[in-house]
Amino acid sequence: MPGTEDTPMVRFEKVVKKFGDHTVLDHLDFTVKRGDRVTLIGPSGSGKTTILRLLMTLEKVTDGMIWVGDEPLSHVRKRGKWVPAPEKHLRRRRLSIGMVFQHFNLFPNMSVIDNITEAPIRVLGRSKSEARERALDLLEMVGLADKADQHPTTLSGGQQQRVAIARALAMEPEVLLLDEVTSALDPETVDDVLNVLREIARTTEITMLIVTHEMRFARDVSNRVLMFDGGRIVEEGTPEKIFTNPDHERTQRFLQAIVGK
């Protein structure tokens, strides 16, 4: 595991992300400690999902640096200078990060268990039997032990999302990124997915970064909440503080719109 107990698990240093002339993240500084569960809230377009995509190396920083553990994610040292990291470095570093997307992204032509074991076997070099045993344990954890040999197309959206969570955990990440994981689900399946994530938060030390509009879930699982607007953090604090007595007028307006406070 990279770093020591005192090393932040995730660190953004003056990170700028632009799409053309549009600045999505504006010299963003923030850190996430090991084992923290941090929820990012704010209006659409405030930069929340961009943070997760940068950590998954699906996007590259325009300026600034990102660290995971005690190693830079976005850059490498070359001839005494920091330069953008090559693809080989990005591939190695993102092994410590798992992401669960809004739309599951499961392979429809593979069984549930093959979806979960494919990357551990191919990328981590696990044996088939070891990967299968771990996958069955994870399916048990997410309440889908009886679905191992089915295909994703036979499952409900909520079940597919629980498979996607198991698949992310099968790679044994140190950081789990959750991007609006219930937004594509029918209302009756939302609680099943959120209860799985609550149990993961309760029983593991995995670091989580969560983008969600489910404020009750954010309150239950997080130990820190960051309010974003215009690519910057406008307020941060404990869930109790942010959801009960926010200081910033922008936070108050946002929560009023979301939860009718």
- pLDDT, one tens digit per residue, over 27-54 is 999 999 999 999 999 998 888 999 999 9
According to DSSP, residue 3 is labeled S
- Cα torsion for 207, 102, 118, 191, to the nearest 10°? 70
| pLDDT at residue 2 in the model | 45
pLDDT of residue 3: 46
Q: Which stretch of DSSP H or E encloses residue 63? A: strand 63-68
Span 98-142, pLDDT tens digits: 999 888 889 999 999 999 999 999 999 999 999 999 999 999 999
Residue 174 has pLDDT above 50, yes or no: yes
Please name every residue paired with 31 in a beta bridge, in sequence order, or none if there are none: 11
- The pLDDT assigned to 260 comes to 59
Single pTM value for the model: 0.90
Mind giving me the DSSP string for 115-135? HHHHHHHHTS---HHHHHHHH
Alpha-carbon span 233 to 92, nearest angstrom = 29
pLDDT of residue 213: 86
Residue 5's pLDDT is 58
Residue 249, classified by CB atoms within 10 Å of its CB into exposed (0-12), middle (13-18) or buried (19+), is exposed
pLDDT in tens, 57-113: 999 999 999 999 989 998 999 999 999 999 999 988 889 999 998 888 899 999 999
**pLDDT of res. 113:** 97
Q: To the nearest 10°, report the CA torsion of 216, 219, 222, 224.
A: 130
> Per-residue pLDDT for 169 more than 50?
yes
Task: Go through the domains of the chain in sequence order and give each one's CATH number.
Answer: 35-55+95-259 (3.40.50.300)
* CB atoms closer than 10 angstroms to residue 44: 7
| CB contact burial 197-217 (16+ within 10 A = b; e otherwise) | beebbeeeebbbbbbbebbeb
Distance CA 128, CA 36 (A): 32
Type of residue found at 69: G
pLDDT of residue 155: 95
**Pairwise CA distance, residues 79 & 243, whole Å:** 48
Who contacts 34 (Cβ-Cβ below 8 Å, separation ≥6)? Answer: 3, 5, 7, 8, 9, 174, 205, 207
